[in-house]
Amino acid sequence: MKTVNFLSAAAILAATVMTSCSRNSEDATVNDRVEVKFSANTAEIRTRVTETGWEANDPVGIYMIKADPGALAPGNIVEDAGNRQYTASAAGAGSVSFTPQPGDAIYYPVSGDVEFIAYHPYAATVTSDFNLPVSVAVQTDQSKIDALYAKTNGAYNKSKNPVDLQFEHRLVKLAFTIEAGDGVTESLSGLTVKITGQQTEATLDLTDGTVTATGAASAITANTVADGSSSEAIVLPAGDVAGMTFTFTTAAGGTYEVAVPAGSWASGKKYTYEVTLKRNEAEITGMVGAWGDGGSETVTATPPKEYVVETVFIPKGTFLMGSSNGLGAGTPGTDPNVTPAEPGRSSSETQHSVTLTKDYYMSVYPITNAQYADFLNDAGVDASGKNAGIQNEQTLIGEHSWGLSYTGSQWEPVSGYDNHPVIYVSWYGAKAYAEWAGGDLPTGAQWERAARGGVENMPYSIGTGTELTGTMANFNNSVGHTTAVGAYSAYANAYGLYDMHGNVFEWCLDQWNGSSAYSSSSATDPVGTTGSLRVLRGGCWYYGALSCRSAYRYSNTLGYHSDFVGFRVVFCP
């Protein structure tokens, strides 16, 4: 990992210094020229990384440029008054002045207007295109990597002194407050926090203050206090944080890896994340505001979409997928090594061992009409149920009296059906929602492991496991329509999932031709990739109990929609 944040002392000596060798003679003959004085007011979000003000001798670099055209370029630097080093005169908040290093004082021209560009921390050399190297790879001294930038706006002359440099942070501050939640009894002392998936090297363009990332992504280890209650890091701006992760690791080795809440990291902003570590998951909420003690902006960020959907943790592991055919060396019912054939089983349900190598989270309930309406309206899906930029303009949803209707300019749940599972949704529509929420549709294997709740060789994961009754689930047309999700509140399975049996069939990721059987061989992270149909699992309000078995598979075309088809989503950290 690189340990140089800005140019090393050796590099400074070896590089070409972009300052004039005539500084001393120029400064000695000042005539009636006026030395420029510089200050900064930290009460207006013009503060260094400490957020309490500048420290004595903090170094800044300053350029004096022509007011017209007012751009940093070799020909626009006034009398070689470029990259002069100044230092903060005193520590503390409020107003601070800057003192030039010997021979580096800048003087106003005798006549004419000028502007100024300044940055922190100072580097004696800058590339020929005015790009300053920046690195956030090492966080041990954040004052060395906190890039500040200031550019005056307007014409200055010797009648205007001092020049108030309005510094702004050009990088991003992350701050975590961390606590132990349910199921976590170990101390957080020694906790480490890492940000992965982001580049750590960049350049700060002194012509306009933009930051451009360079190089490959690398893990960043944040500065965490000894008791693990808080942690901070400075990172690069990012227009899209998709794919980045936060990893929290306790001294005992417990690791929580969560996706960075969807959105972007804007230059000069501070993002504060409140993190609760629980037995099987980490909950995270975010705030965004101005970086600095003078910032008045603090607004609640959009909750990460991973947590818009209530989820439960499903552990990785090995389980038996499919259903028993009752064959074996012993006698079913008397020999414990032989399981009776499962009633209603299909020949396609060949029982076999499956290993899932990653933990995941699954929505507690099928996605509801209210949740799906939020997606449709956010994505700008019109009355046709389509959007040109989503799933190649396939139909995502249709109107239904138990589902959603398009009213005026938006989608709304039909009155009384807000909390019922969304229906009349195609596979395209289910997939689009899952991606919008930051997750995916479950594979058939993920769905079945979750549905079984650790119960193998049983048709159902609730009750006795051998039968399904009308008090346990909505099936066999006993109600005549969908019921609200979680209506059978006494019958969650061991993982805490509701409605895995009945109510609505649920779309899965897998392709299937509708008849082929599983292989009897063991499989690892399987997903069906052949066939023109897509798998549906779980049974529904209209079909009988046997179609609600954990092993049962149904399928249909990707554009199919009906009043007994919905879905749920999974998230894989």
Model confidence pLDDT, tens digit, residues 386-399: 998 899 999 999 99
CB atoms within 10 A of CB 407: 11
Contacts of 301 (CB under 8 A, 6+ apart): 261, 263, 271, 285, 286, 287, 288
- Among 46-55, 109-118, 198-207, 450-459, the minimum mean pLDDT is found in 46-55
- Average pLDDT score over the chain: 85
Q: Look at strands 220-221 and 317-321 and give their pairing.
A: unpaired
Say if residue 423 is exposed, middle or buried (CB neighbours under 10 Å; 0-12, 13-18, 19+). Answer: buried
Q: Which residues pair with 214 in a beta bridge?
A: 201
How is residue 395 written in tokens?
A: 């139909």
pLDDT in tens, 292-351: 432 322 323 233 333 458 888 899 999 999 999 987 544 444 555 567 899 999 999 999
Q: Does position 25 have pLDDT exceeding 70, yes or no?
A: no
According to DSSP, residue 540 is labeled -
9-169 and 172-307 agree in CATH topology: yes
pLDDT in tens, 201-260: 999 999 999 999 998 999 999 999 999 999 999 999 998 888 899 989 888 777 888 888
Provide the pLDDT for residue 203. 95
Higher pLDDT, 446 or 1: 446
Alpha-carbon span 497 to 130, nearest angstrom: 57
How is residue 344 written in tokens?
A: 């209603």
Residue 112 pLDDT grade (very low, low, confident, very high; cuts 50, 70, 90)? confident
Whether residue 538 contacts residue 501, with contact meaning beta carbons closer than 8 Å, is answered with yes
CA angle 194, 199, 204 (to 5 degrees): 120
CB burial of 187-204 (b: ≥16 within 10 Å; e: otherwise) equals: ebeebebbbebbbbbbbb
CATH T-level fold of 172-307: Immunoglobulin-like (2.60.40)
Whether residue 223 contacts residue 232, with contact meaning beta carbons closer than 8 Å, is answered with yes
Domain parsing of the chain, residue ranges: 9-169, 172-307, 308-368+419-573, 369-418
The structure tokens 């899906």 sit at 381
Provide the pLDDT for residue 308. 58
CATH T-level fold of 9-169: Immunoglobulin-like (2.60.40)
Output the pTM of the full model.
0.52
> What share of the chain in percent tops pLDDT 90?
62
CATH superfamily of 308-368+419-573: paralog of FGE (formylglycine-generating enzyme) (3.90.1580.10)
